[in-house]
Amino acid sequence: MAATGTALLDELRATDFARLDASGTVYLDYTGAGLYAESQLAEHLELLRGHVFGNPHSVNPTSSATTELVERSRAAVLEFFGASPDEYVCVFTPNATGALRLVGEAYPFRAGDRFLLTFDNHNSVNGLREFARARGAETTYVPTAAPELRVDEELLDRYLAEVGGAHHNLFAYPAQSNFSGVHHPLEWIERAHEHGWRVVLDAAAFVPTNRLDLSRVHPDFVPVSFYKLCGWPTGVGALLARREALDELERPWFSGGTIVAAFVQRDWHQWAPGAAHFEDGTVDFLNLPAVEIGLRYLERIGIETVHERVARLGSELLGILAALRHSNGEPAATVYGPRDWDRRGATIAFNFLRTDGAVVDERFVDRVAARHRISLRTGCFCNPGAGEVAFTISRETLVGGEFGEGMTLDDYVDAIGLPSGGAVRASLGLASNAADLGRFAAFAQEFVDLAEVPDDLPARTGC
């Protein structure tokens, strides 16, 4: 890596990410999954080829070799996020969702406790409300408001303050929206702590292009997925948890790996200390070394360099969408969320608009994108709350609008009067470049003066 600054990223695009241009691919789904560098794979394979690694739950030489690598990866994760090992524990999980599940199933909610979360959340955070309900805690959502899709902070402050006495209250929000790209303030963490809340900061969509420094902010639970951060490996995530918060969790079961001993003839088990208490069964030990390799790769580039690159390109992408007009002068695209580069990341949700102002069916957008070899995302991106606000769908519309017997997703979209099956999302990352934006602009031009879409679109399969 000889070049510096964002020039280094162009060099890497031509080497480590050459497969993009070799296949003519424009990849615009970095919030879905990051891309791995070829050199990451080579280093990982070399490590596997040159050693014998056994199951870490033992003390034999091949087992000890594995344990050493797993612990190195754990230390690398803490270091990458500036987390002191005195304050934080890194628990390896299958993905960010697995990290959230660990918190949800073990959080000591009691009747009268509160689970507070923003409308803008991934379904893997929304789903925590089922654990809260099962333990008698009350769930409250803080709304976001169009067009910026930011949170009403006055209301948030009120909710955070209106608690009293001894309680186990939990507040969850994303550092970056996986729908609109909004950066929700990290200052909320301390504000919530002042009122005794524990905080889940969903960092899954934030960390691939922003520095999360856990020596400056101190959320209690931080879920991440490493394939989003460094492209490889899949199947590995982490829960970064403050030790004092982790100590409060009440695991609903034990399993191999989580205990030091258990009896069959006596109802007794002794929990393993630290991260092991939360790592069910055997961790993904052959993939875990790739986490350290990936994080070192990112560190060499510098996450700030990636941030700078996506900020410039993201701002240009917003400009392309803003400038897109039909011959009749009407806009040919509409963006959901901030329209300028203010407190946001490079995840941009939008829809193309027809000449009569109606939303272009996202299935047609998919078809045109495929013709341009562009990979972007359509739907609601597992973030229904952001979608409900972006499309101004009221609670009244949704009540009674459940999926009926034999209903298809298309029937459902019609039944609740949605203009389409969702938005279009373009997201940028480490290997994005100016040429990608040129190809995106040419693709977007196809929607200028579009009056109708064909009626042979495929059935929708999911949102």
Ligand X SMILES: Cc1ncc(COP(=O)(O)O)c(C=O)c1O
Distances (CA, A) of 213 to 158, 217, 291, 307, 333: 27, 7, 18, 14, 36
287 is a contact residue toward ligand X (CB under 6 A): no
90 part of the active site? no
Active-site annotation holder among 90, 230, 380, 382: 382
Distances (CA, A) of 167 to 107, 170, 172, 192, 248: 12, 10, 16, 13, 12
205 is a contact residue toward ligand X (CB under 6 A): yes
According to CB under 6 A, which one of 66, 144, 178, 433 is a site residue for ligand X? 178
When the beta carbons of 385 and 421 are compared against ligand X, the nearer one is: 385
According to CB under 6 A, which one of 28, 78, 90, 96 is a site residue for ligand X? 96
When the beta carbons of 174 and 294 are compared against ligand X, the nearer one is: 174
Choose one: 73-81, 152-160, 202-210, 238-246; the region binding ligand X (CB under 6 A): 202-210
According to CB under 6 A, which one of 67, 97, 209, 433 is a site residue for ligand X? 97
Choose one: 4-12, 95-103, 352-360, 430-438; the region binding ligand X (CB under 6 A): 95-103
When the beta carbons of 128 and 333 are compared against ligand X, the nearer one is: 128
Sign of CA dihedral 116, 118, 119, 124: negative
Secondary structure string (H, E, C) spanning the chain: CCCCHHHHHHHHHHCCCHHHHHCCCEECECCCCCCCCHHHHHHHHHHHHHCCCCCCCCCCHHHHHHHHHHHHHHHHHHHHCCCCCCCEEEEEECCHHHHHHHHHHHCCCCCCCEEEEECCCCHHHHCHHHHHHHCCCEEEEECEECCCCEECHHHHHHHHHCCCCCCCCEEEEECECCCCCEECCCCHHHHHHHCCCEEEEECCCCCCCCCCCCCCCCCCEEEEEHHHHHCCCCCCEEEEEEHHHHCCCCCCCCCCCCEEEECCCCCCEEECCHHHHHCCCCCCCCCHHHHHHHHHHHHHHCHHHHHHHHHHHHHHHHHHHHHCECCCCCECEEEECCCCCCCECCEEEEEEECCCCCECCHHHHHHHHHHCCEECEEECCCCHHHHHHHCCCCHHHHCCCCCCCCCCHHHHHHHCCCCCCCEEEEECCCCCCHHHHHHHHHHHHCCCCCCCCCCCCCCCCCC
Choose one: 201-209, 409-417, 425-433, 434-442; the region binding ligand X (CB under 6 A): 201-209
According to CB under 6 A, which one of 202, 220, 292, 362 is a site residue for ligand X? 202
According to CB under 6 A, which one of 34, 56, 104, 174 is a site residue for ligand X? 174
According to CB under 6 A, which one of 67, 95, 287, 378 is a site residue for ligand X? 95
When the beta carbons of 26 and 205 are compared against ligand X, the nearer one is: 205
Residue 375: CB minimum distance to ligand X, A: 15
When the beta carbons of 184 and 309 are compared against ligand X, the nearer one is: 184
Residue 124: CB minimum distance to ligand X, A: 5
Total residues contacting ligand X by CB under 6 A comes to 12
According to CB under 6 A, which one of 13, 101, 122, 218 is a site residue for ligand X? 122
Choose one: 13-21, 198-206, 306-314, 329-337; the region binding ligand X (CB under 6 A): 198-206
When the beta carbons of 178 and 210 are compared against ligand X, the nearer one is: 178
309 is a contact residue toward ligand X (CB under 6 A): no
Residues 209 to 248 in contact with ligand X, rule: CB under 6 A: 225
Do 179 and 386 meet the contact criterion of CB atoms below 8 Å apart?
A: yes
Choose one: 35-43, 92-100, 182-190, 298-306; the region binding ligand X (CB under 6 A): 92-100
314 is a contact residue toward ligand X (CB under 6 A): no
124 is a contact residue toward ligand X (CB under 6 A): yes
Residue 173: CB minimum distance to ligand X, A: 10
According to CB under 6 A, which one of 156, 204, 374, 431 is a site residue for ligand X? 204
User: Which tokens go with 334?
Assistant: 């509409």
| Residues forming the active site | 382
Binding stretches for ligand X (CB under 6 A): 31, 95-97, 122, 124, 174, 178, 202, 204-205, 225
